[in-house]
Amino acid sequence: MTFASSFRRHGLASIALLVVPSVALAEGVPAGTLIENTATASYNTGGPTQSLDSNTVTIMVDELLDVAVASRDASAIPISASAVLSYTVTNTGNGPEAFVLTADPNVAGNDFNATVNSLAIDSNGNGVYDAGIDALLANGGTSPSIDPDAPLTVFVLVESPGAVDGATSQVNLLAQAATGTGAPGTVFAGAGEGGGAAVVGSTGADDEALGSLVSSAVSVSLVKTATVSDPFGGTQPVPGARITFRIVASASGSGSVNDLVITDAIPASTTYAADSLTLDDAPLTDLADSDAGTASSSGISVTLGTTAAGTSRAVTFDVIVN
């Protein structure tokens, strides 16, 4: 085998990486990977051709520390009392790395500065903050280890100081490699994956992004009325009369409210009229299924979800006087 064929067999790309370092290529090779090469020479002295192998050169790929942070929110998040901002932290290095995460609400140009209560990690990976499920993290805490090229969704839980309607604010999320940060090329000996060095990449091993808030002075009113229809064509609440309850939820101001749910108990001395539940005059089933409502002998529940200011929603149901 010739030196050239041995060179090809052991990987031209790997050797090129050693000769001409490239951040883009280095990030694609996992930290701790061993690059090995053995040269072969062949010769003769007038008799049979002889061959000779060199010693094998082994080089471990060092860990490159790089990160990218971006806001996941397409627009400013309305906040009246509290809100959740979403960010993506992506490990753009070539080895598993944890990151110190710090949310700073004191951004130049803010109309108001929100209060950061906590950070949270998207534990179930659904992209939505789930209280009691997603793992809380103190502001300035360290994330779980993130695999190379893998994203992590991070939530920042904030409260409003009571800003005027329409006021805007930004919150900066900073991610810093737990191993260390610095000027590109800074070396942390022995701190990389597999015991090699960790080298700061082009991002300085830190990055940051802004999430936006807009103060929303939204309020909700709830008005309930009743209409009686008796068995004789009148409107007297006698036994056997049917009572239709109508509940109107109205949001006013600006922005929107989230997770709006209307519930009501079936009054004593009455019986729920099966399949009478409606939302905005469209029928709902009584069962817990894909529509917004449920109803039983004890009460009704209708989920309205996010409701924008200037919107009214109406729920009705009937009972029979015992």
Residues 6+ apart with CB under 8 A from 28: 94
Domains 65-215 and 219-321 share a fold: yes
Q: Which CATH superfamily is domain 219-321 in?
A: Agglutinin-like protein, N-terminal domain, N2 subdomain (2.60.40.2430)
Domain ranges of the chain: 3-61, 65-215, 219-321
Cα torsion angle, 20, 26, 29, 34, sign: positive
Q: Given this model, what pLDDT does residue 27 score?
A: 57
Cα–Cα distance, 255 to 80 (Å, whole number): 8
Report pLDDT for 190.
93
Determine the pLDDT at residue 43.
87
DSSP string, 54-102: EEEEEEEPPEEE-EEEEE--SSPEEESSEEEEEEEEEE-SSS-B-EEEE
pLDDT in the model for residue 194: 87
CB-based burial label for 287 (10 Å; 0-12, 13-18, 19+): exposed
pLDDT 10s digit of each residue in the chain, 322 long?
A: 443 333 333 333 333 333 333 333 335 788 878 888 989 999 888 889 999 988 888 888 889 999 999 999 999 998 888 899 999 999 999 999 999 999 999 999 999 999 999 999 999 999 999 999 999 999 999 999 999 999 999 999 999 988 888 899 999 999 999 999 999 999 999 999 888 999 999 999 999 999 999 988 778 899 999 999 999 999 999 999 999 999 999 998 777 788 899 999 999 999 999 999 999 999 999 999 999 999 999 999 999 998 888 899 999 999 999 9
Which CATH superfamily hosts domain 65-215?
Answer: Immunoglobulins (2.60.40.10)
Percent of the chain with pLDDT over 70: 92
Amino acid present at 266: I
Question: Residue 28's pLDDT is what?
Answer: 75
Secondary-structure breakdown of the chain: helix, strand, coil percentages, each rounded to the nearest 5: 5, 50, 45
Of the candidates 179, 91, 95, 87, which has an alpha carbon nearest to the alpha carbon of residue 137?
A: 87
Q: List beta partners, residue 59.
A: 35
Residue type, 149: D
Phi first, then psi: give them for residue 303, nearest 5 degrees: -95, 120
Contact 37, 56 (CB under 8 A): yes
What are the pLDDT digits (tens) for 134-184?
999 999 999 999 999 999 999 999 999 888 888 999 999 999 999 999 999
